[in-house]
Structure 1
Amino acid sequence: MVSDLQGLVQSAVDNGSVPGAVALVARGDAVEVAAAGTAELGGRTPMARDSIFRIASLTKSVASALALLLIEQGRIGHDDPIATWLPELAHPKVARTPDAPLDDVVPARRPITVADLLTSRAGWGFPDDFTWPAIGALFDKGSQQHGRDPQLVPAPDQWLKNLAEVPMVFQPGERWLYNTCSDILGALMARATDTPLPELMAELVFEPLGMTDTGFAVPAEQIARFTSGYAPGEHGLDLVDPREGQWSTLPAFPSGAGGLVSTVDDYHAFARTLLPGATGLLSEQSVREMTTDHLTAEQRAASRLFLEGQGWGSGGSVDIAPVEPWNVVGRYGWTGGTGTTAHVIPATGTVAVLMTQVAMTSPTPVPLQRDFWTYAARR
């Protein structure tokens, strides 16, 4: 285990795991940042502290914080049925059994609520078993491509119509399922406020926190700071998303599940507001709600593909057992499928953010992420 942060990210560059990486570990005002490698494979642009990354599912925490802020403002409520703003989802069907054919469905036993979305228990989403017909339909109808291909997803109105055609695999509140609830939540917030999600996030989150490099697209004048996107291939890393292209304009569907770009400093500005006693965004009650596990033991056990010694708060996981060296009870955060990870550790007041541009091939975190978590937990 490398003993310093610079050495940790440099070792990942040296062994070919990533072209480059930027990492930040902060406790209070003491902030340690390391950057290594380049913004593109074999390129000349050095990775820098202000490099911009596709943060993928780190977006989920931001979307949840925004929703809790709207709840504090009285604009939406925990127990409100989502059909108030999303009539397309007023009468969802549920697969009779999780592996049932698409036409073997029963009605939902109760309306889906905002709370169901916040805890990812609405009934749509990804389980441990991707072979179920409804999950295939979710990919086909929902166009779940936003982490890498945001421009391929239809606009919210059409996306919701498509989703309404997909059976839920569990009844509302019955089971934790990954990803889709955050996209529904983003669409709901835009409808509830009559404001496009990019504008709403900018007004209520990014601008107050000084997150000047975070959004759903990269401005033309900043594209040189954007990193190219890669995925592991048969003979090394394959370029799957060049820096110039689809991230230069806003997508039709701004994804609350995985649509943002950001920098380590911007995400640190957000994440530190989730520490106990922090100010600047949410009330202490909302922070506790966001960073407290809401799942039952049965729900956690059914989701081990995604959760390792963890439960789920809102928009991120919560460590509940020290099963690995990096697990710290109460640690909150998540990973992004494009190669990012960010957590807060309330017990030590730590914020840890790691950004790379190499996509994960499964929900299982890669060695660099695990090494970084272990480093942050020891600080």
Structure 2
Amino acid sequence: MIPTGHSKGFVKARLDQMHAALAQHVGPDAVPGLVALVARDDEVHVEAIGDRAVDGAPVARDTVFRVASMTKAVTAVAALMLVEECRLRLDDPVDELLPELANRRVLRRVDGPLDDTVPAHRPITVRDLLTFTMGTGLLLVPPDSYPILQAMTVLDLGQGTPRPGIPPEPDEWLPRLGTLPLMHQPGERWLYNTGSDVLGVLVARASGQPFEQFLRERLFEPLGMGSTGFSVAPDRLARFTTCYWTDPTTGERVVYDEAAGGEWATPPAFPSGAAGLVSTVDDFLAFSRMLLDGGRLDGERILSRASVALLSSDQLTPEQKAASGLSPDFFATHGWGYGVRVVTRQTEIGHPVHQYGWNGGLGSSWAIDPVDRVIGIILTSRAFTSPTAPPVVQDFWTSAYQALAD
């Protein structure tokens, strides 16, 4: 049982320090613009600094950003809704709904030829998709390092930096994935990302609705998340940011995706459950408050308290952690729930034990602290350069927690 208590909000003088801490990261050759929000019960503080594009209009509280891998938690909630309706079961094989993934073969060596395989010890389960233990995922090596990674690129499976214009529609995407062997045995280790994309296809087939329609009708509309989706409608493009990243050759800040005419300006063929969504701080605040309040928002139950507890608790075994990680020491201080990182040992001011959430590689970070009832969200328009959060994100979390009143 996670201990909780009554919060005393923030110390205003300390909270005011957040503006200076974040503003130092905004400017030429830095972050073009950001919106940050920290909430504790009914107290909400928002910072909007910089512009939607270089030399563009200022960002505002309702500015829309690409939230990338923050999408994973939304996809996990959708799957758990279907588990609660008994349309999915956590330990059932996915073979019936996803026959393209039945009778898997597994590489003898992850760097080996694609035809050097052994049979999978068991089928992939729903739980494997939620916990990223299905046997395939991102590897933190150059994309041409191994034959399996080269094949994923050739097949346009979209298992890299989000590019919604590339992957084909779900009923083409999954058969392409199914032509490849798994990298490791199901359940053997944690492998990032791919499980959430497969989970989005599973939600669509289990519900009988396109994934984007299920999210809109069952989650976004009930929570009032009107600016969240897999693309930005024409009448909202004026609120959308241009996204920038760092050119790996020159180190310069360059455009990654334009607002108007970019890859999120039209609905994608493949709505990525791993990294496809756009959103605002207030939309994600609504989603976060639902989770923090045990699956309810404003009296409407979206998810059971038991499902929230599953999602937000560490689901990995010591053996899985020992063989896995985004960095060598990632699982020394973290676990993984369903679509979220869970802090298991505190080593930083802004990340206490039991906090759960995740970052988005295109410039965002989000987490919920169920003990001190803190929600933090920072959305920026500059992509990360590594799995480690950049200084602007680190300073946001430090600024939020140094301002707690108790």
Q: Residues 215-257 of structure 1: CA distance to partner in whole angstroms, max 9, x if unpaired?
A: 0111111110000011013253101211012322211000000
Indicate the larger mover: 74-83 or 113-122: 74-83
Cα gap change, 1:2 to 1:273, in 2 (>3 Å): closer
Partner in structure 1 of residue 398 of structure 2: 374
Q: Aligned pair 1:293/2:314, yes or no?
A: yes
Structure 1 residue aligned with 2:356: 332
Q: Which has the higher contact order (CA 8 A, sep 6+)?
A: 2
Letter in 2 for 1:77: R
Retained in 1: the 8 A contact 2:211–2:271? yes
The separation in 2 between residues aligned to 1:160 and 1:249, in whole angstroms, is 22
How far apart in 2 are the matches of 1:49 and 1:250?
A: 24
1:260 aligns with 2:274: no
* Change over 3 Å in CA distance of 1:9–1:274 after alignment to 2: same
1:93 to 93, 105, 120: 105
1:183 aligns with 2:204: no
Q: What runs of 5+ residues in structure 1 fail to find an aligned partner?
A: none
Give the aligned partner of residue 125 of structure 1: 137
Contact between 1:333 and 1:344, CA under 8 Å: does it hold in 2?
Answer: yes
Judge which range, 32-41 or 8-17, deviates more: 8-17
Opposite residue 157 of structure 2, the aligned amino acid is S
2:345 counterpart SS class: coil
Alignment partner of 1:111 is 2:128? no
CA contact (8 A) 1:60 1:316 kept: yes
Where in structure 2 are there 5+ consecutive unaligned residues?
Answer: 1-13
User: Which residue matches 1:232?
Assistant: 246
2:287 aligns with: 270
Query: Distance between the aligned counterparts of 1:56 and 1:78, measured in 2?
Result: 25
Counterpart for residue 218 of structure 1? 232
How much has 1:343 moved relative to structure 2?
0.3
Q: 1:304 Cα deviation (Å)?
A: 3.6
Scaled by the length of structure 1, the TM-score of the pair is: 0.95
Computed over aligned residues only, the root mean square deviation of the Cα atoms, in angstroms, reads 1.9
- Helix, strand or coil at the partner of 1:248: coil
Q: Give the match for residue 4 of structure 1.
A: 17
SS at match of 2:303: coil
- Local SS of the residue matching 1:324: coil
The answer to whether structure 1 residue 143 and structure 2 residue 157 are counterparts is: yes
Structure 2 residue matching 1:68: 3-state secondary structure: helix
1:181 Cα offset (Å): 0.2
Q: Deviations over 1:62-95 (max 9, x none)?
A: 0001111111112211122111111111122111
Partners of 1:158 and 1:240 in 2: CA distance: 26
Task: After TM superposition, give the deviation of residue 10 of structure 1 in Å.
Answer: 1.4
TM-score (norm 2): 0.89
Count of residue correspondences? 378
State the partner residue of 1:284. Answer: 305
Alignment-derived partner of residue 342 in structure 2: 318
Change (3 A) 1:173 1:218: same
Question: What are the equivalent positions in structure 2 for 1:32-43 lying under 5 Å apart?
Answer: 32-43=45-56
Does the residue aligned with 1:83 lie in a helix, a strand or coil?
A: coil
SS at match of 2:206: helix
Conserved? CA contact 2:97–2:206, under 8 Å: yes
Structure 1: which amino acid aligns with 2:88? I
Separation in 2 of the partners of 1:326 and 1:298? 28
Match of 1:48, SS state, is: coil
Matched position secondary structure for 1:191: helix
1:74 alignment counterpart: 86
CA change 1:277–1:192 in 2 (3 A) is: closer
Please report how far the alpha carbon of residue 15 of structure 1 lies from its aligned counterpart in structure 2 after TM superposition: 6.8
Distance in 2 between residues matched to 1:186 and 1:301, nearest whole Å: 28
